[in-house]
């Protein structure tokens, strides 16, 4: 089947912060919804489909995403959907819907305010309710078990991990939206106290409030709305077993599979935006994707410098697309993850023409 060409034509994100207590989710989203529409030079009347990604567990109330729809304004009635996933998966849903031919322009938004709760405990609620959930084993602890497994296997060292943190913060110095940035010394990072050993604080993404918006357009509409659309040439997501012990945590089989199915290996990429909330996960992803040394990895600073849960994967797509639309890159890969220890992985290959 000939796939319909779909591109990212606009992207906007919030200035990510530790806590935006003075803004609710609707207030957080409204400015960047306007910005993303303006970036495509359209009003909301051109949007055929709206799809969002968020988690009620963060807001602490069921169907909170329905309330947040007020940010877009669902009147007159709109065609709309939601995923309890990172917004990258909302892009996937919209991309599938656009293949059916009825939708030419789709708007995707995602948001997460982690500040009202304890994100480590909140994320423990995504675990199975029999074996892991009742232990309240948290997201950092599970990542620490994964990191130790990788260190023991010789897949990477604590120095490698600290270098990822330092490089991310260096890159984020050119990203005005990042929460963390700056020049840091690897030796200084390693001298800091353990957090959940073997992880240091610098190995973990910060706790962030933030949101992002992407506009997708198909075929001629994409060319109309953007001088250089970032065409989605491949998009695929794969899931590993939820039984943690059944997985090899030192590698990422699902990332490798998604990359194969998204056609990543057909040509080299200039940029990779990887959604790695922990330093060792970036190392696992780089290896699973077989990225060459000269690929620019996380020029935005990545999730280690701003991690609005549910939006951090969508931001990877936006950041990768932005570099294509600006002419800085010709081919890029964006990655999003979900679940404990990189359980689920989505890859999106983007190209300019």
- Footprint of another protein on this chain (CB under 8 A)? 21-22, 57, 60-61, 116, 118, 120-121, 129-132, 134-138, 141-142, 144-149, 152, 194, 196-199, 241, 243-247, 249
What is the smallest separation between the CB atom of 94 and another protein, expressed in angstroms?
Answer: 28
What is the smallest separation between the CB atom of 109 and another protein, expressed in angstroms?
Answer: 24
DSSP 256-288: HHHHHHHTGGGS--SEEE---SBHHHHHHHHHH
- Tokens 């199915």 appear where? 261
- Residue closer to another protein, measured from CB, 152 or 159: 152
Cβ proximity of 317 and 348 under 8 Å: yes
- Distance, in Å, from the CA atom of 162 to the CA atom of 203, rounded to the nearest integer, reads 7
What is the smallest separation between the CB atom of 145 and another protein, expressed in angstroms?
Answer: 5
- Residue closer to another protein, measured from CB, 63 or 136: 136
The strand pair at 6-13 and 209-218 is best described as: antiparallel
- Residue closer to another protein, measured from CB, 116 or 182: 116
- Residue closer to another protein, measured from CB, 127 or 222: 127
What is the smallest separation between the CB atom of 103 and another protein, expressed in angstroms?
Answer: 32
Q: Is the dihedral of CA 287, 293, 295, 299 positive or negative?
A: positive
Tokens of 7: 């591109």
Cβ proximity of 175 and 302 under 8 Å: no
3-state secondary structure of 61: coil
Q: Is the dihedral of CA 31, 37, 39, 41 positive or negative?
A: negative
- Residue closer to another protein, measured from CB, 147 or 346: 147
- Residue closer to another protein, measured from CB, 110 or 144: 144
What is the smallest separation between the CB atom of 15 and another protein, expressed in angstroms?
Answer: 19
Cβ proximity of 169 and 301 under 8 Å: yes
What is the smallest separation between the CB atom of 121 and another protein, expressed in angstroms?
Answer: 6
């Amino acid at each position: 089947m000939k796939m319909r060409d779909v591109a990212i034509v606009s992207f906007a994100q919030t200035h990510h912060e530790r806590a935006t207590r003075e803004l609710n989710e609707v207030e957080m989203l409204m400015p960047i919804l306007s910005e993303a529409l303006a970036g495509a030079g359209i009003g909301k009347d051109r949007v055929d489909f709206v799809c969002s990604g968020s988690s009620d567990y963060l807001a602490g109330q069921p169907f909170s995403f329905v309330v947040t729809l007020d940010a877009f304004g669902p009147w007159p009635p709109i065609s709309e959907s939601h995923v309890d996933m990172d917004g990258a998966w909302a892009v996937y849903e919209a991309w599938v819907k656009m293949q059916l031919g009825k939708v030419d322009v789709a708007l995707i938004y995602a948001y997460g305010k982690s500040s009202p709760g304890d994100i480590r405990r909140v994320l423990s609620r995504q675990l199975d309710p029999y074996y892991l959930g009742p232990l309240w084993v948290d997201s950092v602890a599970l990542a620490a078990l994964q990191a130790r497994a990788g260190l023991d296997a010789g897949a990477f060292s604590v120095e490698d991990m600290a270098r990822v943190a330092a490089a991310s913060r260096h890159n984020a110095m050119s990203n005005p939206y990042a929460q963390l940035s700056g020049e840091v010394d690897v030796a200084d990072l390693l001298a800091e106290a353990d957090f959940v050993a073997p992880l240091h604080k610098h190995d973990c993404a910060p706790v962030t409030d933030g949101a992002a918006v992407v506009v997708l357009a198909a075929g001629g509409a994409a060319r109309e709305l953007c001088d250089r659309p970032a065409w989605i040439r491949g998009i695929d997501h794969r899931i590993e077993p939820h039984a943690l012990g059944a997985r090899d945590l030192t590698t990422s089989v699902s990332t490798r599979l998604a990359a194969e199915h998204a056609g990543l290996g057909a040509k080299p990429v200039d940029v990779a935006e990887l959604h790695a909330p922990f330093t060792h996960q970036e190392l696992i992803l780089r290896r699973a994707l077989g990225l060459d040394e000269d690929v620019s990895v996380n020029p935005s600073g990545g999730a280690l410098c701003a991690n609005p849960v549910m939006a951090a994967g969508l931001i990877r797509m936006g950041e990768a697309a932005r570099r294509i639309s600006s002419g800085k890159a010709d081919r890029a890969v964006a990655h999003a993850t979900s679940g404990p220890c990189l359980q689920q992985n989505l890859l999106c290959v983007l190209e300019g023409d």
